[in-house]
Amino acid sequence: MMDSVLLFISGLTLFLFGMTKLSSIMQQVLSSRIREYIVFAVKKPVYGLCTGIIATMLFQSSSATTLLTVGIVSAGLISFFHSLGIILGADIGTTLTAQFVVWKFTSISPLFIFAGGILWFLGNEKWKPFGEATLHFGLIFFGLSLVSDATAPLRYNEAFIHFFQTAKNPLLGIGAGLVFTGIVHASAIPVSILVILGIQGLITIENALPIVIGANIGTTVTALMGSVVANIDGKRSAVAHLLFKLFGAILCLIVLPLFVATLQRCSSNIAQQIVLGHFFYNLLIVVVFIFLLSPFSHFIMTIIPGKAETIPLWPEFLDKKCLARTDDALFCVQKELYREITLAKNMLTRSLELVTNFSQSKKKDIMYIELVVDNLQLEITRYLWNISCGELSPELSKKLFAFSATVYDIERIGDHATNIVDFAESKYIRKAIFSEAAKVELKEIGVLVVQNLEDTSALVQQNDKEKVQRVFTRKKEIDFKIKKAIAQHLERFYKKVCRAEAGPIFVDILINLGSVSDHCQLITEHVDSVETF
């Protein structure tokens, strides 16, 4: 018995490890193309549904997809309404894992582990992430194969068979599935275990189905926990997910005998019945809600009132019709540049706050905003290319080149803000503590850099000689203070006033603030070089 218990625990551990790592790797691999996926998702609810299905199939975890969606909504990249389709799709995509078990992927899991290991260890940098993903995909099902081996002896245990094959109160099954899934944060685990028990003839569909329903409700726990630090729209998305599942559970309980009979007619295989029950439950929710998302979203907004800002991922002012007139087109670019630099200023302000009070959720918000800044840089650059194809006067050509340089400087400011976020996280992880003198120096320099960025952003809207002079004067003061702060830090370091692990982080943050100030000066020079900026 002890050997079986240890084997069961080991299998669950491998399953969870493989699923967590696969989800993390796939998010990294897809991060460079997330802009396109988000834009596709928000066009129509059905497209969001498809995005959720595909994302969950890749992550092998609806909890990961839903949590990622709540984060994106909280950052303001998509609205609460557009998140609903993705959440519904995630619930459909998660049913594939259990189907893989029925298709005996557990038997061929060593092949995935071997192939993934070869690619990971011997492949080039391009193939290593895919090799690692394949390896962890194999570990998911190898873990389930260990669970199958651990439960195999139970087919001869009359007490166990009697317990799982005797009709029980459905509410107890729902409670068991909910609690177990809430603990492990993955409905695929209890559902896959039920499928294994079904393959071995140890459970009936009557007893398995309530547990499946409970597991589906339990999968909302991850998003609900993540929404604690989310904004109002993030909380709405998490609550909507819970209400989807509760509605499906109530409906299925009302027609439970009919639901069971339908599954039995669809297949005589208990394992397949369990998988179909998991799929039909989520399909029912999609069929009911996909055409009612608008009134449903209004209902959620009524019970959770409040206003949240959504940051449009794509340009708001780059009108293609204006390309016919160069003056109008460049004015469109100027307005979009102001929007881009405002977002970069937002990133810098938030990143400096993280140095003293780090938060993983706030870090994610900044990283999501960076996606918008990067995307605006690409779109503005493409728009400028189109303008350059026409005939330009010397003054307009000068303005176009000034805009082309400015857009890259703004994007680099965003990059330096994310660098500061990384250093803030490193400070938090290492428990590095800045000396009081270092805190004062960092705050003074940070305030000056933010002031310079505020003046620079105002200059992008309209040239102002007074602001131009302020930026140049403040730039010299920032450079002097950074140089002095680094020298004083070295002195404190030698006197052992500050901790060794805090030193490099402090200096790196100062260097990045100096770089932001450099880009502010460059943008100001671009503005000042054009008479009619």
- Please choose, from the candidates 28, 215, 60, the residue with its C-alpha nearest in 3D space to the C-alpha of residue 143: 60
292 and 356 part of one domain: no
339 and 210 part of one domain: no
State the chain's maximal CA–CA distance in angstroms: 91
CB 220 within 8 A of CB 195: no
Cα dihedral angle (457, 463, 466, 472), rounded to 10 degrees?
A: 60
Please state, in angstroms and as integers, the Cα–Cα distance from residue 175 to each residue in 37, 94, 98, 218, 464, following that order: 36, 20, 20, 9, 66
Please enumerate in sequence order all residues whose Cβ is within 8 A of that of 359, keeping only pairs 6 or more positions apart, or say none: 229
How many domains does the chain fold into?
Answer: 2
d(C-alpha 25, C-alpha 119), whole Å: 14
CB 272 within 8 A of CB 308: no
Residue 160 in any domain: the answer is no
356 and 271 part of one domain: no
What phi, psi does 4 have (nearest 5°)?
Answer: -65, -40
Residue 140 has a pLDDT of 85
261 and 362 part of one domain: no
Query: How is residue 204 annotated by DSSP?
Result: -
pLDDT band at 426 (very low <50, low <70, confident <90, very high): very high
Decide: residue 404, CB within 10 A, 0-12 exposed, 13-18 middle, 19+ buried: middle
| Signed CA dihedral, 19, 25, 31, 37: sign only | negative
**What pTM was computed for the model?**
0.71
Residue 372 in any domain: the answer is yes
For the residues 116-128, what does the mean pLDDT come to?
A: 81
286 and 204 part of one domain: yes
CB 338 within 8 A of CB 457: yes
* pLDDT per position as a tens digit, 385-394: 988 877 778 8
Residue 498 in any domain: the answer is yes
27 and 132 part of one domain: yes
Residue 214 in any domain: the answer is yes
pLDDT band at 167 (very low <50, low <70, confident <90, very high): low
Q: What are the DSSP calls for 284-331, one per residue?
A: HHHHHHTTSHHHHHHHHHHHS--------SS-SS--GGGGGSHHHHHH
Residue 313 in any domain: the answer is no
66 and 203 part of one domain: yes
Last residue of a domain, one of 271, 303, 335: 303
204 and 332 part of one domain: no
Residue 500 has a pLDDT of 65
Residue 27 has a pLDDT of 65
Task: Say if residue 498's pLDDT is above 90.
Answer: no
Please state, in angstroms and as integers, the Cα–Cα distance from residue 440 to each residue in 221, 352, 481, following that order: 42, 13, 11
294 and 364 part of one domain: no
- Host domain of residue 366: 320-529
Amino acid found at 114: F
> How many of the other CB atoms lie within 10 Å of CB of 474?
18
380 and 272 part of one domain: no
CATH number of the domain residue 346 falls in: 1.20.58.220
Output the average pLDDT for the chain.
86
269 and 404 part of one domain: no
Q: What's the CA angle centered on 321, arms 320 and 323, to 5 degrees? A: 70
Residue 310 in any domain: the answer is no
What phi, psi does 58 have (nearest 5°)?
Answer: -75, -45
Residue 159 in any domain: the answer is no
Last residue of a domain, one of 273, 303, 333: 303
Residue 312 in any domain: the answer is no
- Candidate from 17-31, 54-68, 277-291, 347-361 with smallest mean pLDDT: 17-31
Task: Say if residue 14's pLDDT is above 90.
Answer: no
213 and 339 part of one domain: no
